[in-house]
Amino acid sequence: MLDAMRFRPVVEPDHGRVLSVLSSWWAGALGDEPPEVRARRQLERSLLLPRLFFQHFGPLSEIAEQEGEIAAFLVGFRSESHPEDAYIHFVGVRPELRGRGVGRALYERFFARAAALGCTAVRSITSPMNTGSYAFHHRLGFGAEPGDFEVDGRPVKRDYDGPGLDRVAFVRPLGPIAATGGGE
């Protein structure tokens, strides 16, 4: 299936295309929510992906296309403050393609490009309630950084992204890791 994918750097016109899939790709991701909560979460997700990511972060950010449609995307960059680190900011995989290696392929391609730039680690975050994301990052060799408290045994940093926006922070050294089974 990955053979049918076309991977390419993001470009500015991808911004609208990616925003257009956020609602459908994340519908019900955190369970049944009232419409006003779903609308707020949609707005929050779109605010996490301003156009500047598509204008200025193309070298490490990537789109996977299948038959001309977006199949997946990864938005990431090399840290200006810590050039030894790369950061994966936002990733999405079309729901029917999850568990088929598309997300893993995007991450592994990102790891290779970041390493080629001299990065020695990749960082990322997720919501403490996103157990699928937590497991996926663990399978790819990410370790959770210590937190202020735990949710179901996962270390969480309180108010990481602002009041009430707790996060699990991950770090993964670059280099080969042992296969841990499963895949995105």
Residue 179: the pLDDT is: 45
Residue 163: the pLDDT is: 94
pLDDT higher than threshold 50 for residue 178: no
Encode pLDDT of 91-128 as tens digits. Answer: 999 999 999 999 999 999 999 999 999 999 999 999 99
Residue 37: the pLDDT is: 73
For residue 181, give both structure tokens: 């089974």
In angstroms, the Cα distances linking 51 to 5, 11, 12, 16, 113 are 24, 10, 7, 8, 22
* Contact predicate 35/59, CB 8 Å: no
Encode pLDDT of 123-132 as tens digits. Answer: 999 999 999 9
Residue 47: the pLDDT is: 83
Strand order in the sheet with 6-9: 6-9, 62-66, 69-78, 85-93, 121-126, 168-173, 143-144
Per-residue pLDDT, averaged over 68-95, amounts to: 96
Integer Cα distance of 78 and 83 in angstroms:
6
Q: Is the Cα dihedral 131, 136, 139, 145 positive or negative? A: negative
Residue 125: in which H helix or E strand, if any? Answer: strand 121-126
Total number of residues shown for the chain = 184
Q: What is the pTM of this model?
A: 0.88
Encode pLDDT of 41-50 as tens digits. Answer: 777 777 889 9
Integer Cα distance of 42 and 24 in angstroms:
10
How buried is 89 (Cβ within 10 angstroms: 0-12 exposed, 13-18 middle, 19+ buried)?
Answer: middle
In this structure, the number of other CB atoms found within 10 A of the CB of residue 16 comes to 10
Integer Cα distance of 63 and 68 in angstroms:
11
Phi, psi dihedral angles at 67 (to 5 degrees): 55, 40
Encode pLDDT of 6-63 as tens digits. Answer: 999 999 999 999 998 987 887 655 556 677 776 777 777 778 899 999 999 888 999 9
For residue 92, give both structure tokens: 């999405």
DSSP-derived secondary structure letter, 95: G
Find, among 126, 130, 132, the residue nearest to 172 by Cα: 126
Greater pLDDT, 113 or 1:
113
CATH numbers and ranges of domains, the chain: 2-173 (3.40.630.30)
Residue 90: the pLDDT is: 94
